[in-house]
Amino acid sequence: MQASKSGSRRSDSLWAAEDIEAVFDQDPQRVCILQGPVAVKHAKVADEPIQDMLDNVASGLVSKFLENYYGGDESKVPTVDYIGAPPASEPTGVVEKYGIQIQETESGAKLTLGQLLPPVSAWMELLAGPKVSWLRAALTSINIVQGGSYVDNPFKRIFAPRRGQVVSIQLKGGQPSQIIVNGAARSHGIHDPNFKAVELTFDSSSSRISLTIFEERAGSSIPLQLAFDYKPRVLLETLVRR
């Protein structure tokens, strides 16, 4: 077995390189390509750095993809903030079923909850909207990064539906720029329905998300301010608490 070990390793590598369907998850990065006669035939640069080799492979794949799907026209390639699960369609009849009032405003929309509350997931989808954006990342991400560790997303608890709550969403250039929650600041007892409980804003110039939670004390509004960095290009670290 020892005598045939090196030979079988070489043949397995070449076999996998010629049949990507046989590779686990069809992942080319799992295949070790040996420097055989075919590879040598296409090597035209002496002492080529590995970064240049990999960059050439990547650019070749991008060029082929662009040609096959968009006719070589980069202007036809759609853009999104980050790569993730596509936005779920609005749950059928959730607005009517739970008596959610939606009022269109000049700068956005205002949503008012009644006594019957929708599921948290359906409410988050409704607030996040149909497009991939910082607001969708904040409301639907499972985790955020805090101090170098992954922690549960706190936005889901903060924006969970509460009876009598009024949520105002402001748009800028067709994208959400601010979301304000009024009322339902207390879990029990009577409270001012106009009290601003939560304010969430986004600064596109710095990609900074600012969250302010307000607590009423003796007629005064006491703010708790938190900041998050929105990093759509960093996979699994889209939201980082500062």
Contact 109, 102 (CB under 8 A): yes
Q: How far apart are CA 103 and CA 168, in angstroms?
A: 9
- State the average pLDDT over residues 173-201: 86
Task: Label residue 9 by pLDDT band (50, 70, 90).
Answer: low
Given a cut of 70, is residue 38 above it in pLDDT? yes
Given a cut of 70, is residue 92 above it in pLDDT? no
Distances (CA, A) of 227 to 56, 65, 140, 234: 39, 38, 18, 18
Position 3 scores a pLDDT of 54
Contact 101, 111 (CB under 8 A): yes
- State the average pLDDT over residues 110-119: 94
4-13, 38-47, 120-129, 203-212: range with lowest mean pLDDT: 4-13
Position 30 scores a pLDDT of 76
Given a cut of 80, is residue 28 above it in pLDDT? no
The conformational region for residue 72 under phi > 0 = left, psi -120 to 50 = alpha, else beta, is left
Task: Count CB-CB contacts under 10 A for residue 144.
Answer: 21
Cβ neighbours for 170, distance < 8 A, ≥ 6 positions apart: 107, 108, 176, 177, 178, 179, 180
What is the fold, at CATH topology level, of the domain defined by 94-241?
Answer: Arylsulfatase, C-terminal domain (3.30.1120)
Task: Label residue 14 by pLDDT band (50, 70, 90).
Answer: low
Cβ neighbours for 233, distance < 8 A, ≥ 6 positions apart: 82
Position 153 scores a pLDDT of 94
- State the average pLDDT over residues 44-55: 86
Position 189 scores a pLDDT of 66
Q: What is the pTM of this model?
A: 0.70
Task: Label residue 23 by pLDDT band (50, 70, 90).
Answer: confident
**Domain positions in the chain:** 2-76, 94-241
pLDDT, the chain, mean: 85
Distances (CA, A) of 211 to 48, 198, 203, 222, 223: 49, 7, 12, 13, 10
Task: Label residue 86 by pLDDT band (50, 70, 90).
Answer: low
Residue pLDDT, tens place only, 57-68: 899 999 999 999
Contact 211, 222 (CB under 8 A): no
Position 85 scores a pLDDT of 66
